[in-house]
Structure 1
Amino acid sequence: MAGTFGATSTTDDVLEGVNLSGKRILVTGVSAGLGVETARTLAAHGALVVGAARDLSKAKAATEQVRAQAAKEGGLELVQLDLASLASVRACVDALVSAGKPFDLVIANAGVMACPKSQTSDGFETQFGTNHLGHFVFVNRIASLLKPGARLVNLSSSGHRFADVDLDDPNFERTPYTEFGAYGRSKTANILFAVEFDRRHKANGVRATAVHPGVIQTELGRHLQPEVLQQLIDQINAANSAAGEPAFSWKTIPQGAATSVWAGVVAAAEKVGGLYCEDCHVAEITDADDSLRGVRAYALDPDHAKALWARSEEMVGERF
């Protein structure tokens, strides 16, 4: 469990020799990509995985490999969760809390990226509403089910560098909307949520962290036009060249899910709590425009995290 891992490490590399029998782990977004791979490797190492998805039929088909590869002690249970609907979030939570079965780890993996301007069923800008507010309500409402020693892993992105959160205009009512600006806001919010959740719960032995999985070809990028994607890759290569780093290369899905698993299971809790991780290590703070690595200082600011928490409570009409 104390091995050295990096950008090319896979989920199976990270969990080699790890027995998760008796662990109960919740993963959101198990109908495709990283969520399916995360569930697969955890179940294969003995964990009982509760997989949440908006479309249960799609998730059931996508997770056949999870059930097929699950260890004797492991398994998968699916629950319906639409993060773009607080009614759905609350219904899912009510069922989980009623069942009363605690969790050792929650991986908030589900999300949307760079979609055209739209709103959730509750009237929130879709990316902020789904990626942040949906998980904000979901995680806080199941917090009572987190065992002492449990962890929360929020999937963020290096895309947090596109924008800080805007607490005065979170729904782009006055600000010109851009797909990546909205995505950046939501991914910054994912980090800040982990920072404040960690502060509030670490005295009870529950820690939280945020992770960047890397750049992977999954359904998350379905709204991107090929020419826009190529422009992004060109920008990444220009930045890498300026920083003396290698040219861009895609991560595989098992490589992309590795940091989530590493931060949730393998890394020492006190080393990752309240921080942002990438490539299976804790990222350094940087404000360099030509670097795609590291985390922006505004995403880890504790006062900023408290302010986002308060604004989020106001938006969802619920205090935690």
Structure 2
Amino acid sequence: MTQEFGSQSTTDEVLAGVNLHGKRVLVTGTSAGLGVETARALAAHSAHVLGTARDLAKARQATSSVLEAAKAGGGSFELAELDLASLASVRACADRLLAAGEGFDMVIANAGVMAAPFGHTQDGFETQFGTNHLGHFTFINRIAPLLSAGGRLVNLSSAGHRFADVDLDDPNFAQTPYDPWVAYGRSKTANILFAVEFDRRHRDRGVRATAVHPGGIRTELSRHMSQADEEALISTINATNAAAGLPPFTYKSIPQGAATSVWAAVVADGDAVGGHYCEDCHVAAVQDGEGLRGGVRPYALDAERAKALWVLSERLVGEQF
């Protein structure tokens, strides 16, 4: 890594001078926000990008800029239907990709929901854990044979992982009172732990996995938050920052938010990011303590915890990988 990037870096800055001709990338959640920008940036640098979305009509409208960037940059873009809240949809999409047999150099697991009201996926899992973790867990493991040697998996996590560790005994809040932010925290910790264990299982063939925090961005991800909720969250973050001697919270632009994803997928050294958690285009330090701030909680990188979550996830979805 010859150039240093940071919190204000954009996708185009990170990929400046990079030619991805011949590279195939899969990006989940390309119907809004970070997913669209991630796909656009990669296609603009000559990659072939396959985007997935639950609502293809919405995704087609949202990705006109991706098609334009692909045409101008020598890349290409196509869409596939994938509803991560339905294991039937997950398996159908994976089966279609396996039947096609075309490999991927990078998979960016971008899709997700945040602070959703209590509910369940089509298979009876708590909505956030089922969508953010179990849907991706099943999909990515099924298509893992398509990841080329030297490939990269990037799981989008969040500083929200600091809200909660995974609960291996009650993943669906059957006994625990539901809190949308605790549920979000559990699912985002799960995204990191999944990357840790996937990296351990696949690194011998050169495939590395990492998790990233994009930063605070105004996207559709916050659709379940009221203005009062948003103001309260920012107030909490600022109080934590002030106590730590850090500046007040500021939102990133969408190109700044997607920069860490493309940095981790394309630019960063695999040995540096594999099995780690990244933010602001660098590997984050382990930081304990309360509040939403920089760094990664130790429990999110715990190798034994990652193995235990893998076993639980296999049991929940009824498949072994």
Q: TM-score, normalising length from structure 2?
A: 0.99
Deviation at 1:225, TM superposition (A): 1.0
Aligned alpha-carbon RMSD (Å): 0.8
Matches within 5 A, 1:76-95: 76-95=77-96
Question: Are the aligned partners of 1:2 and 1:266 in contact in 2 as well (CA < 8 Å)?
Answer: no
Contact 1:198 1:207 survives alignment (8 Å): yes
The answer to whether 1:34 aligns with 2:44 is no
Map 1:184-263; keep pairs closer than 5 Å: 184-263=185-264
Which residue of the partner structure matches residue 272 of structure 2? 271
Moved more, 269-278 or 285-294: 285-294
Q: How far 1:288 moved relative to its partner? A: 2.0
Per-residue CA distance 1:153-194 (angstroms, 9 max, x = gap):
000000000000001000000000000000000000000000
- Displacement of 1:72 after TM fit? 4.8
Alpha-carbon offset, residue 2 of structure 1: 2.4
User: Per the alignment, in what secondary structure is the counterpart of residue 128 of structure 1?
Assistant: helix
Q: Is residue 2:112 matched to residue 1:111?
A: yes
The amino acid of 1:316's aligned partner reads V
What does residue 60 of structure 1 align with? 60
* Whole-angstrom distance in 1 between the partners of 2:39 and 2:89: 22
Q: CA deviation at 1:243?
A: 1.1
1:233-269 CA distances to partner (integer Å, 9 max, x unpaired)?
0011111111111111100000000000000000000
Deviations 1:38-83 (A, max 9, x none): 0000000000000000000000000000001114530101000000
The answer (yes or no) to whether the contact 1:40–1:65 under 8 Å persists in 2 is yes
Stretch deviating more after TM superposition (288-297 or 106-115): 288-297
* AA matched with 1:141: R
Give the structure 2 partner of residue 315 of structure 1. Answer: 316
The 1:54/1:291 distance shift into structure 2, 3 A limit, reads closer
Partner of 2:103: 102
Q: How does 1:133-152 map to 2 (within 5 A)?
A: 133-152=134-153
TM-score in terms of structure 1 length: 0.99
The whole-number CA distance in structure 2 between the counterparts of 1:68 and 1:45 is 12
Change (3 A) 1:84 1:291: closer
Q: Distance in 2 between matches of 1:241 and 1:168?
A: 36
CA distance in 2, matches of 1:72, 1:270: 29
Counterpart of 1:272 in structure 2: which amino acid? Answer: V
The offset of 1:3, in angstroms, is: 1.2
Residues of 2 paired with 1:218 and 1:234: CA distance?
Answer: 19
Looking at structure 2, the residues matched to 52 and 38 of structure 1 have their Cα atoms a distance apart, in angstroms, of 12
Deviation at 1:291, TM superposition (A): 5.8
The answer on whether the counterparts of 1:26 and 1:103 sit within 8 Å (CA) in structure 2 is: yes
Paired AA for residue 204 in structure 2: A
Letter in 2 for 1:198: D
Q: 1:33–1:253: 8 Å Cα contact kept in structure 2?
A: yes
- In structure 2, distance between residues paired with 1:109 and 1:272: 17
| Partners of 2:199 and 2:207 within 8 A in 1 | yes
Corresponding letter in the other structure for 2:50: V
Q: Quick one: which amino acid aligns to residue 4 of structure 1? A: E
> Hey, what's the Cα distance between the residues in 2 that align with 1:68 and 1:38?
14
Task: Report the equivalent of 1:155.
Answer: 156
- 2:282 partner amino acid: H
Structure 2, unpaired ranges of 5+: none
- Counterpart contact for 1:22–1:73, Cα < 8 Å: no
Matched residue of 1:167: which SS?
coil
4+ residue segments displaced more than 3 Å: none
Contact 1:50 1:78 in 2 (8 A): yes
For the 8 Å contact 2:45–2:73, the answer to whether it is kept is no
Q: Structure 2: how far apart are the matches of 1:296 and 1:53?
A: 30
Code of the residue aligned with 1:36 in structure 2: it is: V
Contact 2:43–2:73, Cα closer than 8 Å, also in 1: no
Equivalent residues, number: 320
Distance in 2 separating the partners of 1:111 and 1:32: 11
**SS of structure 2 residue aligned to 1:257:** helix
The residue type equivalent to 1:172 in the other structure is: F
**Are the counterparts in 1 of residues 213 and 277 from structure 2 also a CA contact under 8 Å?**
yes
SS in 1 for 2:236: helix
